[in-house]
Amino acid sequence: MAIANPWTYFALVAIAIGLTCLPVFRFVDAAPTVRARFLALDGLRGFAALSVFAFHVVVTHGYIATGAWEPPTSTFYALLGPVSVSLFFMITGFLFWTKLLSAAGGGSWRSLYVGRLFRIAPMYLFAVLAMLVIVLAKTEFVLREPLRDVVGAAAQWLALGIVNLQPDVNGYPATHVLAGVTWTISYEWAFYASLLATAVVARSRVHLPLVAAALVLCLAGKSLLDSSVLGFAALFLSGMTVASLLHAKKTLALSNRLGSALALACLLLIFVPWPLNAPLSGYGTFAALLLAGFFYCVCSGATLFGLLTARAAQRLGSISYSVYLMQGIVLTLVFAVPLLREFAMRAPANYWLVAMLGACVLIATAGVTFVCVEQPCIAFGKRLARRPPVPDAVTPAPRVGPFAVPTQR
């Protein structure tokens, strides 16, 4: 069995589903909300986070073997990580553009940004602090660089990911401890900031053609200028375009079975080595268009034959942010055990056995951090957002709008 055998990914997913199906995982179940129509997106988020983990399992093998942190040479795994991250960006664009459209470009901005701060920052800081402890332990708690440089590098990591800086700390490649996943946070923050400017489009009756035109321009600019920033913007705009389509009542009138088949076809075609997708890239234009088609099907009601709305998928979705941020730490700690690392590197089957053990540890850890870190901070953020901004001010009547209950990532 090769390290990059695609079937090992499906085995890992099956184990994750089996684990989260257990009654012991009831503690991560979320209370029913009015967002039932987007349950499939919660499940999709869970599988995307798990897929990024599988991607980094293969990357970590190469890192242990050669010392080089590089994308997998396998077509399947090289696409798996970027496609999953692309879905995260599309989901964010869809959910928050849906909020703006529902509020006609209004709503409570204070509620939105306070909610985002307490949704993203606490778990991010938890993961970064854990990384810093590991780095210090790896460097034997001895200064290998000037103290000023170490403090400066740590401060950059603690800046909530607003700027995409991932410096080494004390001469150690800190980004590898977190599997390099924090780079996406800066793009999330940039998107939330952009909503202040794009809100005027949400107030317009022609929001759909405007957003679609922006998407086309970004895709064209990405191809002409070879700009990764425009490529990521196109992913957010893909989600926004789907939101505008649904807001305009332009959904696919397909049964769940037919819609699921169409969605699955779009997803599978991404992994086929088409001439238009050469060189193969999970962030390529061809892949983005197919992924947008897949996403449109899911938002129109396709559940991949019930998989995305299954209880296990919903639980994975609830803990997906912790899974995403903690995967590198778990992989680092698991393969730091000499006996496990030596056993794993003897054969591909051994490696995936240890990796699947790591997946179980990751899911259990993510469940605990979700309940102990994420949920309390989200609840505190909501309470803080509801407080009047000026002490003793007259509290206005509750405003009906989508920002009243910030959506989890």
Task: For residue range 215-273, list pLDDT tens digits in order.
Answer: 999 999 998 998 999 999 999 999 999 999 999 999 988 899 999 999 999 999 999 87
Range of the domain at 166: 6-28+40-387+400-404
Q: What percent of the chain has pLDDT over 90?
A: 82
Query: Rounded mean pLDDT of the chain?
Result: 91
Q: What percent of the chain has pLDDT over 70?
A: 91
Among 25-29, 202-206, 384-388, whose mean pLDDT is lowest?
Answer: 384-388
- Please count the other Cβ atoms lying within 10 Å of the Cβ belonging to residue 373: 17
104 near 202, Cβ under 8 Å? yes
Among 76-90, 100-114, 265-279, 353-367, whose mean pLDDT is lowest?
Answer: 265-279
In a domain? residue 33: no
In a domain? residue 409: no
Rounded Cα gap, residues 221 and 234, in angstroms: 10
For residue 292, pLDDT beyond 90: yes
Burial class for 205, CB neighbours closer than 10 Å (0-12, 13-18, 19+): exposed
Domain count for the chain: 1
pLDDT bracket for residue 403 (50, 70, 90): very low
Give residue 372's identity as a one-letter amino acid code: C
pLDDT at 236: 98
pLDDT at 35: 53
pLDDT bracket for residue 405 (50, 70, 90): very low
In a domain? residue 34: no
The H-assigned helical ranges of 302-344 are 311-318, 320-334, 338-344
The H-assigned helical ranges of 283-387 are 285-299, 311-318, 320-334, 338-344, 348-369, 375-386
pLDDT bracket for residue 106 (50, 70, 90): confident
pLDDT bracket for residue 32 (50, 70, 90): low
pLDDT at 391: 55
In a domain? residue 1: no
204 near 59, Cβ under 8 Å? no
Omega before 23 cis (within 30°)?
A: no
Query: What mean pLDDT do residues 21-32 have?
Result: 85
pLDDT at 400: 40
In a domain? residue 69: yes
pLDDT at 387: 78
157 near 131, Cβ under 8 Å? yes
For residue 275, pLDDT beyond 70: no
Structure tokens at 205: 């009756």
Query: What mean pLDDT do residues 344-362 have?
Result: 97
In a domain? residue 395: no
In a domain? residue 83: yes
In a domain? residue 35: no
